[in-house]
């Protein structure tokens, strides 16, 4: 009797070498895999939950300063090196991988106001309350050598800020006026004044390297071109801006941190109205720094929190705080886009992950694919209420929570009042002013 048996061509299922991937026959017929939306939704929900479970952003705290940390500087070529200056004039160099201080030097008497590493990474500059600009070598002095600056410039007034040019041997300081210095000279090669008495910050544009911007105490932000003899333009806002940061990937965008609890992202060509108003802080914003990819920025506030904003969003995607962290004075985003560093009043520098739930270290290919897939799923279903609720849920300190609630109520009350006034006055007499336009007083040419 002939028995018919199932037989397959071995070509269909035998791999040619043992290094080949086993072929797994799959049938993509949709009827065999029903409920695709429901299943993916469940996966998205689960991964959102896991995201929250694994969100442990705090990595380390670097202690050693004997006064509040007033400024920090990233090393330009070494990711593991960080410099910090405190309110007692001390500068510390940190090794971030070992979480330890590798060098301490008494740079100034009084505050260290500003600090910047030269583009080559071999030396750095500091300015302080003692009216001096000092240049220091990056390497620690050898045995028996004294800790001495390479160069010291004595200025006429106090310097409050400092930034270095991206490529040339030129740096800028601010104080009573904005000065451009050549590294080789002891007097500024150019000084800019425009009817204001003091500046709080100055920053070079990292892309269009000859441009710079500064925040002044008369509530203005002033733009300069290093090659011109006069400033370019200034915008006066309702309250003072503390610092600003240029987007490192987009030449004409910058963000400033303001005393009115908000951050404003401007296009430097159209200063009459900010592109985005970033709200969420409940106290003055003291510092801001862009991620090196130019997609997000981090802000430090007097309300003892650090927040991360996507550059085009009005609200933050993440808030970091700890029980012991006081007013955060300075903040930096590491050059590899993975970490955030914050320096605060209570003498500590804290190291955070930029993505709270990201797994650091080497990922296996399958792991990477799985995380990419879950990321995309979260993106796909982000508008669904349950997923949004979980993804947006953050625990906040009580005072901040109540403060933000109060601010919300106040804002709502103001809006209601304005609406009522408009209702009871002649049509067109009370114009509608958008949130973006509200905070700009004028643009001075």
Partner 1 sequence: EGEEEEEEVYDNDENITSEEEEEEDERKHQKLLEAISSLGAKRKKTLGERSEAAVQMSEFTVTAEGERDRVDLSDLIGSMEKTPGVTSRTKKQLKNLQKDNKTIESPLSRQETDRIQRDVAFQKAATEVTKWKGVIKQNQRAEQLIFPLNREPSGPKPIERVVTSWKAHTPLEEEILLPALQKARALQSYYEAKARRARKIKSKAYHKVHNKAKRKEFLKRSMRLELNKIEMARMQERMSLKHQNSGKWAKSKVIMGKYDLVARKAMQQQLEVNKDLTQKIVTSLNAEEEEEEEEGGDAEVLPDFVNDAEQAVDPSNPWMRGKLSEDPTEKDMIVDLTAEEEVKEPEEEVLLREFDERRKQRQAQEAEAQITVEEEDDDEEEEEEDKAADEEEAELSVFTSLFREKAEAAADVTDTSAQLEEGLTRIRTLEDVELLSVPQEEAAADEAPLPPPPAENPPPVPQKREAAKPKKRKRAIELKEVLTKEPKVIQVPLAPTVEDAEDADEPLDQRGLIKEAFAGDDVVADFLKDKRKQEDAGKPKVVDLTLPGWGEWGGTGLKPSRSKRRRFRTKAVPPPPRKDQRLPSVIISENRNSAVRLHQVNSLPFPFQNHSQFESTIRSPLGRTWNTERTVKKNIKPKVVTQMGAIIEPMAREELLKDKRPAAGRGGRGGRGGRGGRGGRGGRGGRGVDSQRRHIRDKRAEK
Residue carrying structure tokens 């299922």:
13
Strand partners, 74: 82
Euclidean distance between CA atoms 230 and 283, whole angstroms: 34
User: Closest CB to partner 1 among 112 and 244?
Assistant: 244
User: Closest CB to partner 1 among 79 and 407?
Assistant: 79
CB of 411 to partner 1, least distance (A): 21
Chain-centre distance for alpha carbon 225: 24
CB of 33 to partner 1, least distance (A): 5
User: Closest CB to partner 1 among 181 and 339?
Assistant: 339
DSSP string, 333-395: E-TTSSEEEEEETTSEEEEEESSTTPPPS---HHHHHHHHHHHHHHHHTTTSHHHHHHHH---
Euclidean distance between CA atoms 378 and 65, whole angstroms: 41
User: Closest CB to partner 1 among 36 and 424?
Assistant: 36
User: Closest CB to partner 1 among 5 and 154?
Assistant: 5
| Structural element, H or E, at residue 43 | helix 36-53
Euclidean distance between CA atoms 97 and 215, whole angstroms: 34
Residue carrying structure tokens 């105490």:
217
What is the three-class DSSP state of 407? helix
CB of 30 to partner 1, least distance (A): 6
- Report the helix count and the strand count for the chain, using DSSP H and E: 6, 29
CB of 197 to partner 1, least distance (A): 19
What is the three-class DSSP state of 145? coil
Which residues are near partner 1 by CB under 8 A? 3, 5, 7-11, 16, 27-30, 33, 36-37, 39-41, 43, 76-77, 79, 120, 122, 166, 206-208, 211, 223, 225, 228-233, 248-252, 268-269, 292-295, 335-338, 360-361, 369, 372-373, 375-377, 379-381, 383-386, 445
CB of 9 to partner 1, least distance (A): 5
User: Closest CB to partner 1 among 46 and 369?
Assistant: 369
Q: Which residues of 272-290 are buried (b: 16+ CB within 10 A; e: fewer)?
A: ebbebbbbbbbebbbbbbb
Q: Number of C-alpha atoms within 13 angstroms, CB side, residue 361?
A: 3
| Structural element, H or E, at residue 13 | helix 10-13
User: Closest CB to partner 1 among 428 and 434?
Assistant: 434
| Structural element, H or E, at residue 233 | strand 233-237
CB of 153 to partner 1, least distance (A): 19
Overall residue count recorded for the chain in this entry: 445
CB of 55 to partner 1, least distance (A): 18
User: Closest CB to partner 1 among 200 and 205?
Assistant: 205
CB of 376 to partner 1, least distance (A): 5
In the chain, how long is the greatest CA-to-CA distance?
111
User: Closest CB to partner 1 among 156 and 269?
Assistant: 269
Euclidean distance between CA atoms 171 and 276, whole angstroms: 30
């Amino acid at each position: 009797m002939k028995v018919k048996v199932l037989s397959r061509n071995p070509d269909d299922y035998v791999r040619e070498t043992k290094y080949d991937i086993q072929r797994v026959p799959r049938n993509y017929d949709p009827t065999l895999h029903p409920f695709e939306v429901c299943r993916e939704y469940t996966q998205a929900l689960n991964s959102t939950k896991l995201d929250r479970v694994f969100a442990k952003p705090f990595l380390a705290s670097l202690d050693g300063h004997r006064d509040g940390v007033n400024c920090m500087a990233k090393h330009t070529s070494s990711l593991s090196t960080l410099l910090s200056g405190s309110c007692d004039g001390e500068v510390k160099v940190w090794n971030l991988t070992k979480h330890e201080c590798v060098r301490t030097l008494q740079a100034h008497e009084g505050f260290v106001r500003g600090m910047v590493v030269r583009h080559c990474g071999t030396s750095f500059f500091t300015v302080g309350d003692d009216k001096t600009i000092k240049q220091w070598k990056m390497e620690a002095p050898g045995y028996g050598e004294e800790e001495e600056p390479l160069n010291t410039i004595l200025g006429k007034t106090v310097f409050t800020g400092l930034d270095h040019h991206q490529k040339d041997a030129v740096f800028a300081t601010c104080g009573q006026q904005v000065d451009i210095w050549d590294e080789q000279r002891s007097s500024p090669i150019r000084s800019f004044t425009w009817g204001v008495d003091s500046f709080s910050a100055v920053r070079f544009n990292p892309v269009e390297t000859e441009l710079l911007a500064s925040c002044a105490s008369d509530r203005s932000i002033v733009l300069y071109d290093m090659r011109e003899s006069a400033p370019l333009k200034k915008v006066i806002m309702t309250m003072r801006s503390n610092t600003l940061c240029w987007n490192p990937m987009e030449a004409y965008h910058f963000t400033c941190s303001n005393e009115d609890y908000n951050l404003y992202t401007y296009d430097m060509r159209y200063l009459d109205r900010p592109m985005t108003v970033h709200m969420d802080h409940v106290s003055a914003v003291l510092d801001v720094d862009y991620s090196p990819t130019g997609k997000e920025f981090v802000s430090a506030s007097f309300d003892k929190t650090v927040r991360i904003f996507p550059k085009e969003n009005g609200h933050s995607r993440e808030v970091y705080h700890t029980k012991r962290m006081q007013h955060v004075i300075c903040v930096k985003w590491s050059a590899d886009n993975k970490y955030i560093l914050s320096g605060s009043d209570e003498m500590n520098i804290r190291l955070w992950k930029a993505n709270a739930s990201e797994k650091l270290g080497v990922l296996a290919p399958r792991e990477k694919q799985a995380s990419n897939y879950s990321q995309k799923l979260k993106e796909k279903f982000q508008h669904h209420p349950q997923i949004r609720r979980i993804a947006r849920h953050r625990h906040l300190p009580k005072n901040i929570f109540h403060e933000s609630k109060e601010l919300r109520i106040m804002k709502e009350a103001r809006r209601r009042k304005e609406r009522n006034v408009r209702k009871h006055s002649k049509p067109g007499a009370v114009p509608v002013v958008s949130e973006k336009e509200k905070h700009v007083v004028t643009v001075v040419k």
